[in-house]
Amino acid sequence: MTETAESFIAKSTIKSADLEHRRKINFNIAKYNAVVPVGKTQFTNVMLARERAKNAKWRALETLDQQLEEFEMQFTRRGGKVIWAETTESALEAIGKICKEKSCTTVVKSKSMVSEEIHLNSFLEKNGIESVETDLGEYIQQLDGEPPYHIVTPAMHKSKEDVARLFAEKLGTPDNLTPEELTLVARDKMRMKYTSAQVGITGANFILADIGAIAITENEGNARLSCAFPKTHIVVAGIEKVLPAATDLGLFWPLLSTYGTGQKVTVYNTIVTGPKQEGETDGPDEMYVILLDNGRTNLLKTETREALYCIRCGACLNACPVYKNIGGHSYEVTYSGPIGSIITPQMKDMEDYKHLSNASSLCGNCTEVCPVRINLHELLLKNRHEAVENGISSFGERMAWKLWKQASLNRKMMNMGSGKLKNMVTNKIFTAWTAHHGKLAFSPKTFNQMWEERKGH
């Protein structure tokens, strides 16, 4: 077993026994579950909308090269600059170079999972640049020195009392502040940073090819401030975020808000088309978009490419019985839950992360809730299949399945011995299974015995 798999099993074993953790997660997911049906009421046919969204993403990904080039052409026309980054290192190098050129000491950053993926904050810190998370959830996590717990709600595992205690400890506020008071404290701290930061860094929910723009969806307005105040705006976006046309947003904005937070529309939806133009009063002097590959083209060439349709709404995490028990941090990767368990082994390393694809009951709840109809549970199976095909499985695992297959294909063997005996033998052999699952339980009678009995009636 790899070190990553061992650590995952150890962390998830502890977390799944933590009832207080489960209570907080269930409380927050119950709130989410209560509002999603409200968001859905805006669609006359929600399934049709989801199918259309899937088709749009299929089109975008099938013509990804053309879409990205179209974006680059349109965006650079208005003075924006595009940087193609193949790896984490090249993205960080580009950001470091821009920050150096601007003599940057402070960066304001809005929520972006891609920046988590490339570990941007620690890179900036190492280079002596203060990076301030401006999304409240991310700010809380940054104060606590923890990565985000969930792709939409970074501090989902914390109760309001936990946050009040954290603020008291780190910022010296009274430890009984209400959520509104805590928000005001965070806002006060951040507002000063917007005006002093030289660089603002955001992600992009969508890259709009036809008009050469990026679209950002948020509820707090912090992303708008992060790109409007500083003189330089850097966007880091995965290449799969592309949509062929700005009009596609008519479908994707309501789907993202409904499945992400149960809102009919997210509070702030911003389209940014480039740096400040002549005669305009707002906006940065310079704007860069870093198009990040970082393993996405590996995914594109596999049968699991459909995972690139993901719009990061987080619905599959909220629906997953495994996620709800082990929580986001046990995965120890940027993207957790069902979607993370599919893309991580493909984007990083199958051997190190294949265990994530096995951490699923394959109940299909994720597929059921995905707004872009990704066949998530089937893709998890495809990953498992690929790992076995490539010989990335232990000797014990291979032997166990060989034995199981031979026995199942042999009627005489299946009819041998009583149910009790079979239980005893198999539970001794399949210890890797029984360590984390219920014991195997054979029927007291064989299929043939039951068949004969039935025929006798």
Q: By three-state DSSP, how is residue 220 classified?
A: coil
Q: Which of 74, 227, 371, 379 binds ligand SF4 (CB under 6 A)?
A: 371
Among 248, 232, 292, 209, CA closest to 79: 232
CA geometry: angle 80, 103, 238, nearest 5 deg = 40
Report the sign of the C-alpha dihedral through residues 65, 71, 77, 82, in that order.
Answer: negative
Binding letters toward ligand SF4, positions 227-266, x by CB under 6 A: --------------------------------x-------
What are the backbone dihedrals phi and psi of residue 269, each rounded to the nearest 5 degrees, phi first?
-120, 115
Range 429-435, long-range pairs (CB < 8 A, 24+ positions): 429/400, 429/403, 430/400, 432/396, 432/397, 432/400, 433/400
Quote the least distance from Cβ 367 to ligand SF4, whole Å. Answer: 9
Tell me if 374 contacts ligand SF4 by CB under 6 A: yes
CB of 369 to ligand SF4, least distance (A): 6
Selected binder of ligand SF4 within 102, 312, 324, 384 (CB under 6 A): 312
Bridge partners for 19 per DSSP: none
Task: Determine which residue in the list 83, 99, 239, 310 makes contact with ligand SF4, applying CB under 6 A.
Answer: 310
Among 143, 225, 313, 387, binds ligand SF4 (CB under 6 A): 313
Task: Tell me which residue has tokens 């210890």.
Answer: 431
CA distance 371 to 40: 11
Whole-angstrom distance, CA of residue 422 vs CA of residue 148 = 46
Q: Which of residues 170-229 bind ligand SF4 (CB under 6 A)?
A: none
Nearest approach, Cβ of residue 167 and ligand SF4 (Å): 30
Nearer to ligand SF4 (CB atom), residue 186 or residue 239: 239
Of residues 120, 235, 320, 339, which one binds ligand SF4 by CB under 6 A?
Answer: 339
Interaction of residue 370 with ligand SF4, rule CB under 6 A: yes
Cβ–Cβ < 8 Å for 315, 259: yes
Choice between 163 and 339, CB closer to ligand SF4: 339
Question: Which residues are within 8 A (CB) of 168 and not within 5 positions of it... i.e. 6 or more apart?
Answer: 174, 175, 177
- Cβ 199 to ligand SF4 shortest distance, Å: 29
Closer to ligand SF4 at the Cβ: 36 or 211? 36
Shorter beta-carbon distance to ligand SF4: residue 313 or 400: 313
